[in-house]
Amino acid sequence: MSQQPYVHESARLPEFTFRAVALGVLQAVILGAANAYLGLKAGQTIAATFPAAVISMLVLRAFRNSSILEENVSRTAGSVGEALVAGAIFTLPAFVIAGVWEGFNYWESSFMMLVGGSLGVLFVIFLRRPLVEDPSLPFPEATAAAAIHKAGQKGAAGGRYLFATMGMAALVELLKNGAGFTAIRDSVSGFVAFASSKVTFLRRGQPFGEPGSYAGGLHYESPFASPAFMGVGYIIGPRLAALNFSGGVLAWLILVPLILFLSGEGSALMNVTHLPALSDASDAERLEVVADQAWRGIVRPIAVGAMLVSAVWTLFKMRGPLLSGIGRALMDARRAPGAQATSARLNADIPMRWVLICIVVLLVPMTGLFAWFTGGLAAALTAALAMTVAGFVFSAVAGYLVGVIGSSASPISGLALSSLVVSAVLLVGIGVTGMGAMAAVLAVAAVVCCAVSIGGGIIQDLKVGHILGGTPWAMEWAEIIAVIFTSFVLVLPIALLHNADILQGGAGIGGEGLPAPQAGLMAMLTQGIVGGEMAWPLIGMGIAFAVGLIMLGCPSPMIVAVGMYLDLATSSAIFVGGLIRWIADRIMTRRGMDEAEQEFRVNIGTLLASGLIAGEALMAILLAILVNAHVTLPKLTPSGWLAIPVFAAVGFVLVAIPMRARRASVS
């Protein structure tokens, strides 16, 4: 059943205004800079859609003639900063870590961000209708952002649910964030060692050789005490949450223990326990480090291989709508320049003629940069082709994943890794090696990662606009303007953090102070492939695994691969949210509620979950800003036990409150 927009198609409200775009660009710069710090420190960014929605609503309400469509445009532009900086921090630091750059190169970085971000917007224009209008995609975070705007229109009647849970989640984040009071530990982890086991090998039914002694163990980690992740799980539902968690179970409870079980004491993996940095650690702490290395070095490459096949399979399943959308776009492009599109306001995109022209204009100078890196035209054209195809393909996949699990948990770096592997293989295949090949490979990954990150973000924003009744071209132009401005600004906080860490005695990006984990992995893969030391068997295992999932009829192999790629605390927290939704659904069924009654109560739960997501995001970014301003909050003694009330409170809020709500309580 198609969803009716909040603002009718015939309405003509203020929308693409100077104040909305200017406020959005300012938010993009501020929120992007805050997320740059988070990403370099922890490899995570917080979706800016929610804080941008709240800020846009609060600021624009000060103008008497403002509209919800203006808020939508401002939020759309404001979310660009986080999306663009996510693509940048996952890739650009790899140039420094791999030794391609001695320091951070401002102009090349800005140019790659500009090209990647702009291509992301342009690619998604082709993909908007097939993805945004797909009723099977829940778009959890887009639904949450739309709920914020709607609640603001309804006043206290609808907003009390949203803003109450926003305050609750913000308080929890203040108490558990490392930049806050840290009274609550995010999660509790450890390692359980297995008892030594004797394994006898048989050959034709007879013992063969001496029995081997194997041990290893199991790394465990509790779900993150994250109201936001649980809110995402509630919105996407138990089925998709379980699929995501199944990948985490496979990675952490099967593959990692198996790897450790088969690794002997003298293996390279076990030698990690003898590093000087672990000299004072207990045996369990050493083995926990080994488990983490097994996941990062062995399981994650398998997940990347699975993502490669899953991406192709996802596109194959979407072939009908995608080909239809591309065909419609090409037909629009062939119209005379003065011809008007026949679609109504809610389907009015930027004219496809201009989209294609802009794509060509961006590819020409980028090909020149590839030629500068590699020293050859053939290699430059190969890199440009890989960048274009991978950017479009993975933008489609990113849009699909954002539709399923939201942008916060979308594996943007995993998709960028896939593009890196493809481009590296192509360049090595035509004989391009050395530092130039590494630079070109990383440049492809950087542009694709920025394109994919922006693509996933704008699909989410376009879905919000689709729910609210916004005009697509207004949001698309707002994104392009924000990309142009932020591309030449957001590289500055990254470079400043790098230089400041060096001045303080650190190693800069890639060191202990700014580990940039995704960029480190990309540098390692680039050096491995170009240098001929890549563990291709692991990629092949992932490919075979994904093929097996497809043959078994798995609903979404990509979601399973994503679960393998994420840490267990994240995927299990999303699963907890799915379980809460399952409990709520069961209660409603047992009480004999009809479909309309159940839909009403699920909508209340979705509004509450939206507040949990937005509140945690707002507080996390506020704390990041305090860190950048060198403001230190007093620390309390953190306890893992204090996380238990968080889970209980979230469960109570998402189950009990919707059950008690009355129809008249929400307009």
Q: Domain for residue 271, yes or no?
A: no
What is the pLDDT at residue 338?
45
What is the pLDDT at residue 324?
64
Rounded to an integer, the average pLDDT of 410-425 is 70
Per-residue pLDDT tens for 305-327?
A: 887 788 778 767 767 656 665 66
Between 67 and 339, whose confidence is greater?
A: 67
Query: Is the model's pLDDT at 54 over the cut of 60?
Result: yes
* Sign of the dihedral defined by the CA atoms of residues 254, 259, 263, 269, in that order: negative
Mean of all residue pLDDT scores within the chain: 80
Q: What is the C-alpha separation between 348 and 333, in angstroms, rounded?
A: 13
Looking at residue 4, the DSSP 8-state letter turns out to be: P
Q: Domain for residue 649, yes or no?
A: yes
CB 487 within 8 A of CB 447: no
Rounded to an integer, the average pLDDT of 187-192 is 84
User: In b/e form, how buried is each residue of 92-126, taking b as 16+ CB within 10 angstroms?
Assistant: bbbbbbbebbeebbeebbbbbbbbbbbbbbbbbbb
Query: Is the model's pLDDT at 654 over the cut of 90?
Result: yes
| Residue listed under structure tokens 């493809």 | 422
Q: Domain for residue 249, yes or no?
A: no
Residue from 381, 314, 388 nearest 555 by CA? 314
φ, ψ at 158 (rounded to 5°): -95, -30
* Sign of the dihedral defined by the CA atoms of residues 646, 652, 658, 662, in that order: negative
Which of 77-81, 267-271, 289-293, 646-650 is predicted with the least confidence, judged by mean pLDDT?
267-271
Per-residue pLDDT tens for 271-309?
A: 666 666 666 777 777 778 888 888 888 898 888 788 778
Label residue 87 by pLDDT band (50, 70, 90): confident
Which of 367-381, 468-482, 543-557 is predicted with the least confidence, judged by mean pLDDT?
367-381
Q: What is the C-alpha separation between 465 and 485, in angstroms, rounded?
A: 22
How many C-beta neighbours within 10 Å does residue 663 have? 8
Q: What is the C-alpha separation between 73 and 13, in angstroms, rounded?
A: 12
Query: Is the model's pLDDT at 108 over the cut of 80?
Result: yes
What is the pLDDT at residue 254?
93
* Sign of the dihedral defined by the CA atoms of residues 525, 529, 534, 536, in that order: positive
Q: Domain for residue 255, yes or no?
A: no
Label residue 666 by pLDDT band (50, 70, 90): very low
Per-residue pLDDT tens for 560-598?
A: 887 887 788 888 998 999 999 999 999 999 998 888 788
Chain mean position to CA 13: 33
Query: Is the model's pLDDT at 631 over the cut of 70?
Result: yes
Query: Is the model's pLDDT at 46 over the cut of 70?
Result: no
Residue from 573, 87, 513, 528 nearest 297 by CA? 528
CB 456 within 8 A of CB 407: yes
Label residue 124 by pLDDT band (50, 70, 90): confident
What is the pLDDT at residue 303?
84
**Exposure of 160 by Cβ count < 10 A (0-12 exposed, 13-18 middle, 19+ buried)?**
middle
Query: Is the model's pLDDT at 404 over the cut of 80?
Result: no
Q: What is the C-alpha separation between 645 and 643, in angstroms, rounded?
A: 6
Q: Domain for residue 588, yes or no?
A: yes
Between 664 and 396, whose confidence is greater?
A: 396
Residue from 102, 104, 82, 81 nearest 92 by CA? 104
Largest CA distance in the chain: 87
Which of 38-52, 446-460, 476-490 is predicted with the least confidence, judged by mean pLDDT?
38-52
CB 400 within 8 A of CB 314: yes
What count of Cα atoms within 13 Å lies in the side-chain half-sphere of residue 176?
A: 26
Rounded to an integer, the average pLDDT of 401-412 is 69
Label residue 16 by pLDDT band (50, 70, 90): confident
CB 284 within 8 A of CB 190: yes
End-to-end CA distance of the chain: 22
What is the pLDDT at residue 128?
82
Distances (CA, A) of 477 to 168, 289, 480, 489, 661: 35, 47, 5, 19, 40
Q: Domain for residue 283, yes or no?
A: no
What is the pLDDT at residue 3?
63
What is the pLDDT at residue 588?
93
What is the pLDDT at residue 355?
85
Q: What is the C-alpha separation between 21 and 535, in angstroms, rounded?
A: 47
Label residue 482 by pLDDT band (50, 70, 90): very high
- How many residues in total does the chain contain? 667
Between 426 and 343, whose confidence is greater?
A: 426
Which of 214-228, 263-277, 440-454 is predicted with the least confidence, judged by mean pLDDT?
263-277
CB 422 within 8 A of CB 390: yes
User: In b/e form, how buried is each residue of 397-433, taking b as 16+ CB within 10 angstroms?
Assistant: bbbbbbbbbbbbbbbbbbbbbbbbbbbbbbbbeeebe
Q: Domain for residue 427, yes or no?
A: yes
What is the pLDDT at residue 162?
73
Q: Domain for residue 227, yes or no?
A: no
Q: Which residues contact 320 (CB under 8 A, 6 or more apart)?
A: none
Q: Which domain range does residue 398 map to?
A: 18-188+293-336+345-665
Q: How many domains does the chain have?
A: 1
Q: What percent of the chain has pLDDT over 90?
A: 14
